Amino acid sequence: MPEGMLVAALRHAGCVFAEEEAAILLEAAASTAELADMLARRVQGQPLEHIVGWAQFCGLRMRVVPGVFVPRRRSEFLVERALAVLSADDLLVAGRPVSHVPQQSTLASTPTQRIGSHRPVVLDLCCGSGAVGAALAHAVEQQESAGSAGSAESAARAGCELHACDIDSAAVACAAANIAVVHGKAYCGDLFAALPESLCGRIDLIVANAPYVPSGAIAFLPAEARIYEPHAALNGGADGLEVHRRIAAEAPRWLRTGGTLLLESSARQARESQRILSAHGFEVSWRRREESDATVVTGHLVNAFLPGER
């Protein structure tokens, strides 16, 4: 099929980026018959990422299969904020968003700082495909490699100790494939119940793109999400924040003192997400990037659990 015909068919189906999608389909298809099948599925409204089997995220190709939540561009901001925390350059401005966040990605700009030989323990909670955790771990490794002399000792403790969990077994299988290259471990279960007890009180950073779409708003989502993505990855309950409440209540048991929780949210929900975290002992701030419609709420845990309380 000529590329021009492919572009025209995609544009007629309402694909805004028809030229880019045509190039991706042409690269992915092994035959004319497969290309025709892929085009038919895309015209029907199936997500392009499910059709070709991968999503572009933070400059990396992440495995994505049908039935698994597709990582969004806005979640790249969550990775950037997580990297800032691990780089020890994140300034807390309690109760207020910090403005003037640069549009350009900072994933390859600032070497991460490490205290002694401590290798940060990171949890990608509600991980879906594992894209957030995989991209973060990859960025940490790249920055440390650029900032070190390449000694055997530094290589041995490079990167982070990555764990990821999700309630959906298909998502966990996908995540396991994506985080294998950074030696991450994936678990299946309901939030923290999926984790081994050995992680209790050890986690430095939790990143969570948890469901935050209000139940009543799901019917108004684009068909790609509404029909082809799991509602469990979208549905945040009546106000969209039911899962955020559960995370805020349970996270202190798993974080070390001084650990950090990052939640992807929306501009409309950010202040309530702040209030939820504050009620559970977190010092809270939030940041917004307008051009990608991205909002991240940050909670720093300041109160330690006593040993018998964990």
DSSP the chain: --HHHHHHHHHHTT-TTHHHHHHHHHHH-SSHHHHHHHHHHHHTT--HHHHHTEEEETTEEEE--TTSPPPPGGGHHHHHHHHHHHTT-----TTSEE----SS--TTTSPPP--TT---EEEEET-TTSHHHHHHHHHHHHHHHHHS---HHHHHT-S-EEEEEES-HHHHHHHHHHHGGGT-EEEESSGGGGS-GGGTTTEEEEEE----B-GGGGGGS-HHHHHHS-GGGTB--TTS-HHHHHHHHHHHHHEEEEEEEEEEE-TTTHHHHHHHHHTTTEEEEEEEEGGGTEEEEEEEE-SPPPGGG-
Please tell me which residue, 45 or 158, carries the higher pLDDT value. Answer: 45
Q: Answer whether 74's CB lies under 8 Å from 127's CB.
A: no
Domain count, the chain: 1
Q: What are phi and psi of 187, to 5 degrees?
A: -130, 150
In the predicted model, is pLDDT for residue 282 greater than 60?
Answer: yes
- Residue 244, number of CB atoms within 10 A of its CB: 26
> Which CA distances in Å does 48 have to 164, 165, 200, 212?
25, 25, 39, 23
Residue 50: inside a domain: no
In the predicted model, is pLDDT for residue 184 greater than 60?
Answer: yes
| Domain CATH code at residue 151 | 3.40.50.150
Type of residue numbered 181: V
Q: Which two tokens stand for residue 305?
A: 């659990």
d(CA 19, CA 94): 44
Residue 17: inside a domain: no
In the predicted model, is pLDDT for residue 307 greater than 90?
Answer: no
The reported pLDDT for the residue numbered 93 is 38
Please tell me which residue, 116 or 70, carries the higher pLDDT value. Answer: 70
Residue 45: inside a domain: no
Question: What is the mean predicted confidence (pLDDT) over 84-100?
Answer: 53
For the question of whether the overall pTM of this predicted structure is more than 0.85, the answer is yes
Type of residue numbered 59: G
Residue 33: inside a domain: no
Residue 19: inside a domain: no
Q: Answer whether 297's CB lies under 8 Å from 262's CB.
A: yes
Type of residue numbered 104: Q
In the predicted model, is pLDDT for residue 121 greater than 90?
Answer: yes
Residue 152: inside a domain: yes
Domain that holds residue 175: 67-309
The reported pLDDT for the residue numbered 87 is 84
Residue 6: inside a domain: no
Q: Answer whether 159's CB lies under 8 Å from 137's CB.
A: yes
Lowest-confidence region among 36-50, 88-102, 108-122, 294-308: 88-102
The reported pLDDT for the residue numbered 125 is 99
pLDDT per position as a tens digit, 129-168: 999 999 999 999 988 777 665 544 444 456 899 999 999 9
Question: What is the mean predicted confidence (pLDDT) over 276-291?
Answer: 94
Please tell me which residue, 174 or 310, carries the higher pLDDT value. Answer: 174
Return the residue matching tokens 């068909």.
223
In the predicted model, is pLDDT for residue 96 greater than 50?
Answer: no
pLDDT per position as a tens digit, 227-252: 999 999 999 999 999 999 999 999 99
Q: Which two tokens stand for residue 16?
A: 């805004």
Residue 60: inside a domain: no
